[in-house]
Amino acid sequence: MPEISTVNALDYSLILLYFAIIIWVGVYSAKKNKGTDDFFKAGGQVPWFVAGISNWVSGFSAFMFVAAAGYTYKNGTGAILLFTSSGWAFIGGYYYFAPMWRRARIQAPLEFLTRRYSPSTTYFFTVCSIPIQVIGMAQGLYILGIFISAAVGLDLETFLVFGIEMSGVQMTMLVVGVVMIVYSVIGGLWGAVLSDAVQGVVIFLVSLLILPISLHYLGNDGGMFGGIKRVLDELPREYLIPHGDPANPIFLISFIFHTFLGYNVAWHLVQRYNSVPTERDAKKMAMLCAWLGLLGPLLWILPVMVAKVIFPNIAELWPNLEAPEEASFISLAMLLLPHGMIGFVVAAVLSATLGHANDAFNWLSAAITKDVYVPMRHKLGLPQASDHHEMRAAQVTMFCVGVAGVVLAFFISTLGGAFEFNLKYFSMVATTLLMPVFLGLIYRKTPWWSGIACVIASIITTFTLFGLDLFPEYVFPRNVIGTAASSTLVFVVSTIWYRSDDPQSAEAILLDRDLRTPVEDKPGQVDKGSIDVYRMVGNVCFVLGAVLLCCVFVPATKVAPSSINVLAAAILLVLGWLLRRMAR
């Protein structure tokens, strides 16, 4: 079993530099926030390329580098079928959902529910979404805490903070949570988009290098082609042919449909589609995400398959992890990358989780502020809140949601492999809440209460399936198919009670007209100053590239030579130059 490196002072300094950059991005973004339109959807001025990168990165979290890596380590090529499904989902976004969300002409994501169904539907969804998002955020922080604390050697350490004793896992979650809250609260959607762009650079760099380096190491004198031959020769035949869940048509169809919902009608994606200047930009963004979704996952799926050959007994490396295969990607990086780049790997995993959680902050704060807080003030007879007041209310909401997520993360206990937990948890809640959005966007002639009825039917179905313990070996497809079928049935049956002359159908009729009317491009609609964000991201690339160049003087090993840092620095400097050229 090869001996992997451990994180040293240089890697720690790069991780701290990354934290500093993310907080600086939040401060930079705060200058762009003049009101709620800027805070919630960046004034509709995000360049489509930046929005597309942000959209793609927002689908990542530590789950992708940890739980999904563990699934790949255990199951092999079947993971390709599952984790490239987002690409096909975004093709659906290109042809239908991207233009539809632009034409909905909404500021806050859940405003769609108010227009399509009723204000009470929006209140209902918001209340249901708060605990779901907080649990999801806490679970992501918990996975990240276990992973990062083990990687940097803090998993067995204890810390005393304000008189409270914390484990290394808890301390990691606290630090990451504080950074996440700070840049989210001050930056708004501009902060989310720009930090996602920076995170995309880090993720792209690490993923781009790790595959050829790992194949070259495995091939030894035979180079990359020798490494490919060893993978084909030494991995079990069933590992190279999809088997298990991915080979089960029912599971595969359920997973693809679940992904299709998540990448087309989830609220944080709605924000991205409304953050770009034009309908054409929204379609460009969706197509960029489709290509990234199809090709990007291969950059970390294939290296994990190489790791299966290099680390056949990975549990020996990570005895403190309940699911040691989930450390396969970072094990490979800590073996083959020099110090400096190792810090980038940890930063990449941090990047993914921060971006994913930040999106939950943004759309949930927008929903609570615009669709709950403002209407409640009106009903209570309070004076209308100013735009500045609404923005501050959103920031307070963001802060409270973030604190709740961090606190809950401290109390989550391990529930087996993270991949299995995510499948079971999100198959219940995601399909339940997204089906009424999906159905309501496609067909608009149902009564105002049909959205709530769909959710109630899904909840009843889920608890019935669990209570009767039906198909226990197929929990994920059972939940997805059951909730989707019950939602659709109730939605279709509710059309019987639809009346176009009902006053409560008036807004849905107006929405239907808007969805059939393309959003026209207007002269001067694009703010040329927004293109300056390319320069900002380019400057970050220059800073990171210069730091990696300095790492060439750090002692290295034959397995992980310092030339890798030079190569990474060169990629960053070229990328920074290209981004600055785009800004011109």
224 within some domain: yes
Residue 477 and residue 250 in contact, taking contact as beta carbons nearer than 8 Å? yes
H helices of 297-340, where? 298-310, 328-336
Residue 576: CATH number of its domain = 1.20.1730.10
Question: What average pLDDT does the segment 438-466 reach?
Answer: 91
Q: What is d(CA 527, CA 45) in angstroms, rounded to the nearest whole number?
A: 6
Q: What is d(CA 554, CA 563) in angstroms, rounded to the nearest whole number?
A: 11
Q: What is d(CA 87, CA 142) in angstroms, rounded to the nearest whole number?
A: 28
Provide the mean pLDDT of the chain. 79
Q: How confident is the model at residue 29 (pLDDT cuts 50, 70, 90)?
A: low
Q: What is d(CA 60, CA 287) in angstroms, rounded to the nearest whole number?
A: 18
Q: What is d(CA 21, CA 503) in angstroms, rounded to the nearest whole number?
A: 51
510 within some domain: yes
Tokens 């840049």 belong to which residue?
Answer: 183
Tokens of 196: 């996602």
CA distance to 209, 240, 332, 450, per residue, from 305 (Å):
15, 9, 10, 46
Sign of the dihedral defined by the CA atoms of residues 35, 201, 295, 475, in that order: negative
Q: What is d(CA 361, CA 400) in angstroms, rounded to the nearest whole number?
A: 10
User: In terms of pLDDT, which residue wins out, 328 or 352?
Assistant: 328
pLDDT of residue 537: 81
Q: Which of 217-221, 391-395, 505-509 has the lowest mean pLDDT?
A: 391-395
Instruction: Calculate what percentage of the chain has a pLDDT beyond 90.
Output: 14
Q: What is d(CA 427, CA 438) in angstroms, rounded to the nearest whole number?
A: 15
The 10s digit of each residue's pLDDT in 108-141 is: 777 888 899 998 898 888 878 777 777 777 777 7
Question: What average pLDDT does the segment 339-355 reach?
Answer: 73
What domain count does the chain have? Answer: 1
Question: What average pLDDT does the segment 527-543 reach?
Answer: 75
Q: What is d(CA 355, CA 180) in angstroms, rounded to the nearest whole number?
A: 9
Sign of the dihedral defined by the CA atoms of residues 561, 17, 134, 364, in that order: negative
Name the burial class of residue 392, with classes exposed (0-12), middle (13-18) and buried (19+) by CB atoms within 10 angstroms of its CB: middle
Q: What is d(CA 117, CA 448) in angstroms, rounded to the nearest whole number?
A: 4
Partners of 161 in beta bridges: 164
3 within some domain: no
Q: How confident is the model at residue 353 (pLDDT cuts 50, 70, 90)?
A: low
436 within some domain: yes
Question: What average pLDDT does the segment 446-470 reach?
Answer: 89
2 within some domain: no
Return all residues near 25 (Cβ < 8 A) that are at least 6 apart.
Answer: 183, 187, 191, 194, 195, 198, 536, 540
SS3 165: strand
Whether 504 shows a pLDDT value over 60: the answer reads yes
CA angle in degrees (0–180, nearest 5) for 455-459-465:
145
25 within some domain: yes
SS3 105: coil
Question: What average pLDDT does the segment 345-357 reach?
Answer: 68
CA distance to 121, 130, 190, 192, per residue, from 30 (Å):
32, 25, 8, 11
Q: What is d(CA 306, CA 201) in angstroms, rounded to the nearest whole number?
A: 24
Question: What average pLDDT does the segment 488-506 reach?
Answer: 93
Residues of the domain holding 563:
9-379+390-583
Residue 101 and residue 270 in contact, taking contact as beta carbons nearer than 8 Å? yes
CA distance to 94, 123, 303, per residue, from 285 (Å):
8, 30, 28
CA angle in degrees (0–180, nearest 5) for 235-424-416:
60
Q: What is d(CA 477, CA 423) in angstroms, rounded to the nearest whole number?
A: 10
1 within some domain: no
Which of 59-68, 122-131, 154-163, 565-574 has maximum average pLDDT?
Answer: 565-574
SS3 275: coil
pLDDT of residue 418: 47
pLDDT of residue 493: 96
385 within some domain: no
Q: What is d(CA 248, CA 120) in angstroms, rounded to the nearest whole number?
A: 40
Sign of the dihedral defined by the CA atoms of residues 494, 498, 502, 503, in that order: positive
Q: What is d(CA 397, CA 372) in angstroms, rounded to the nearest whole number?
A: 12
Pair type for strands 158-161 and 164-167: antiparallel
Q: What is d(CA 345, CA 333) in angstroms, rounded to the nearest whole number?
A: 7
Q: Which of 55-59, 114-118, 335-339 has the lowest mean pLDDT?
A: 55-59
Residue 123 and residue 372 in contact, taking contact as beta carbons nearer than 8 Å? yes
